[in-house]
Chain A
Amino acid sequence: MSKKEKTVLEEFERWSKEVKRGAASLAILAVLEQEPAYGYEIVKRLSEKVSFLKLEQGTVYPLLRRLADKRGLLVAEWNYEDPTKPKKYYSLTPEGTKALEMMTKTWSVLSAEMNNLLEGDGLQ
């Protein structure tokens, strides 16, 4: 691989990482809008529905923690029905629902405008 190709690949990876980082929070909120779920369920649903994200399993938990503890968009509750596998169920708070609405709107506008732009440039 030439130096130029390497630079292009690096730039693509950096860009891809940033896009995924932004999309991951929205995807988690969207999954939880349907029904409360625990970490493993969320990971499974995300991997089934949004293959683009390809989130490493270990990266979902920090995101959940940030959205719950630091941002207050999620609320968590432990379920000890199976004592060998306690599960921490996450659900949206009213602030989380509001944030999801705003993020969805922005995402729709962004993706529509980007599609137009890219189609206009003949890239799609």
Chain B
Amino acid sequence: MNEAPLELIEKYLDRVRLYLPIDSEESLVEIRTHLLEEAESIGNGSITRGSAMMAIERFGDPKDAANALAGTGTRIGPVPTEYTQPLMRMIIVIVAIAAAFLVGAYIIGLTFPDWFSFTNYPIGIPFVIVQLVIYAFIILGIIYLVKRETAPTEKTAVEELLGIGSGAFKPKARTDALGDMIGGAVIGIIMILPQLRITLSPEFLVFADIIAVLMFSGAIKGVLFFVYGENNLNLMFEIFLSVAWVILCVGLINIGWGFDYLWSYSNGLGWYMTSMTELMNLIPFLSGIFDAIWAFIIFIIVVVSIWQTLMGITKISMYLQAEKGWWWTGNFGESHLFRRRPFRRFRQ
């Protein structure tokens, strides 16, 4: 509990953010400025731990503040108004993760044990749902008992759970957009280099140009996100690319390991090409390893692409609901790297 005063304010804002619709960063910046000035005023010109806490307490309960600010008053069935936002985000995230992994597994041809069938289907489904709800309540009850007293800056047990979905809806960080930009351009260039192309199998070579185009398009997407932040048109572009990657992966999975040669280096010979067939003849299990690596790469690409597609669709519909239109200079999220304390302090 020996946190810096600014850290307390950030923690409080994290709690408020949980209950707000996506793209509420401007409101949070406004509240942040308010809290800083109020803490300064209470602390006679300097922000102390005590003055920060007092400013936070004066601002009120994060749930009430967020609800007053968002003020939609929407209710989903029996769920109290204040929990609809985080609950909806959590459900979407869980469904999206499940869908991404299932599609990824399906494309690389993984078979599942018979997890999803019930012997007494469909009668068993309501029982299973009731069972899961009971488990959820038991877990929540235990967490609540363990963590009953919380400061205004500490998330409650329920908020910890509901917070699972919040991170996924933050806008893309500028550093991530920069990564897309540089990564896309570099891999795109590599894909068109003759030195690489001669190593590819004839089957993979068919796809090489398409991959290069998708990589360069990914770089353009990075530039758009880097300069204009997150908006519906940029998200649409990302969805289009993600879908294209999934379609491409359906083809790529059938060709197996896509390289016929590997570049090697020796002091005497310099750079030379080693035939994969020769290597595989020498080491019999190598073929299986390379095929597994190939399947794993494709699995990751599909999972990420499906995730981006589902998140993108959800975000677009949320932005349209908030009457944001298609194009605007959007916000930037915080990179996970920069959320670490030393960086945070540096930025402040």
Considering only CB atoms, which chain A residue lies closest to B16 in the complex?
A: A58
B26, A85: Cβ atoms closer than 8 Å? no
A57 to B26, CA, bound (A): 17
Q: Which of B34, B60, B65, B348 contacts A40 (CB 8 A)?
A: B34
Supplied contacts A57-B58, A58-B65, A88-B29, 10 more A-B pairs, CB within 8 Å = A39-B30, A40-B38, A58-B60, A61-B31, A61-B34, A61-B68, A65-B69, A85-B32, A85-B36, A86-B29
Among A44-90, those with CB < 8 Å from B are: 56-59, 61-62, 65-66, 84-88
B59 in the interface (beta carbon within 8 A): yes
Q: How many residues of B contact A (CB 8 A)?
A: 20
A61, B38: Cβ atoms closer than 8 Å? no
Chain B nearest CB from A86 CB (Å) reads 5
Considering only CB atoms, which chain A residue lies closest to B62 in the complex?
A: A58
A58, B59: Cβ atoms closer than 8 Å? yes
Number of A-B contacts (CB under 8 A): 48
Q: Knowing A58-B60, A58-B64, say if A84 contacts B30 (CB, 8 Å).
A: no
Considering only CB atoms, which chain B residue lies closest to A84 in the complex?
A: B348
A43 in the interface (beta carbon within 8 A): yes
Chain A nearest CB from B124 CB (Å) reads 46
A57, B34: Cβ atoms closer than 8 Å? yes
Among B34-79, those with CB < 8 Å from A are: 34, 36-38, 58-60, 64-65, 68-69, 71
**What residues make up the interface of A, taking CB atoms closer than 8 Å to B?**
38-40, 43, 56-59, 61-62, 65-66, 84-88
B266 in the interface (beta carbon within 8 A): no
A66, B71: Cβ atoms closer than 8 Å? yes
A-B interface, 4 closest residue pairs, ranked by CB to CB distance from nearest? A58-B65, A58-B60, A62-B68, A85-B33
A86 to B30, CA, bound (A): 7
B277 in the interface (beta carbon within 8 A): no
Considering only CB atoms, which chain A residue lies closest to B55 in the complex?
A: A57
Chain A nearest CB from B174 CB (Å) reads 15
A86, B33: Cβ atoms closer than 8 Å? yes
Q: Knowing A58-B59, A58-B60, A65-B27, say if A43 contacts B69 (CB, 8 Å).
A: no
A17 to B37, CA, bound (A): 28
Q: Which of A38, A43, A56, A66 contacts B60 (CB 8 A)?
A: A56
Considering only CB atoms, which chain B residue lies closest to A63 in the complex?
A: B68
Q: Knowing A57-B60, A58-B68, A65-B69, say if A84 contacts B36 (CB, 8 Å).
A: yes
Chain B nearest CB from A82 CB (Å) reads 9
Q: Knowing A66-B71, A85-B36, A85-B37, say if A61 contacts B64 (CB, 8 Å).
A: no
Q: List 22 A-B contacts (CB under 8 A).
A: A40-B37, A57-B59, A57-B60, A58-B60, A59-B68, A61-B27, A61-B30, A61-B31, A61-B34, A61-B68, A61-B69, A62-B69, A62-B71, A65-B27, A65-B69, A65-B71, A84-B348, A85-B36, A86-B29, A86-B33, A88-B26, A88-B33
Q: Which of A39, A59, A84 contacts B34 (CB 8 A)?
A: A39
Chain A nearest CB from B321 CB (Å) reads 14
Among B169-197, those with CB < 8 Å from A are: none
B33, A87: Cβ atoms closer than 8 Å? yes
B33, A40: Cβ atoms closer than 8 Å? yes
Chain B residues contacting A85 (CB-CB under 8 Å) are 32-33, 36-37
A19 to B26, CA, bound (A): 30
Considering only CB atoms, which chain B residue lies closest to A69 in the complex?
A: B323
A61 to B23, CA, bound (A): 16
Considering only CB atoms, which chain A residue lies closest to B61 in the complex?
A: A58
Chain A residues contacting B27 (CB-CB under 8 Å) are 61, 65
A85 to B68, CA, bound (A): 22
Chain A nearest CB from B60 CB (Å) reads 4
Chain A nearest CB from B82 CB (Å) reads 14
Chain A nearest CB from B336 CB (Å) reads 22
A87 to B33, CA, bound (A): 7
Chain B residues contacting A39 (CB-CB under 8 Å) are 30, 33-34
A39 to B64, CA, bound (A): 18
A38 to B37, CA, bound (A): 11
B30, A88: Cβ atoms closer than 8 Å? yes
A56 to B64, CA, bound (A): 11
A40 to B69, CA, bound (A): 15
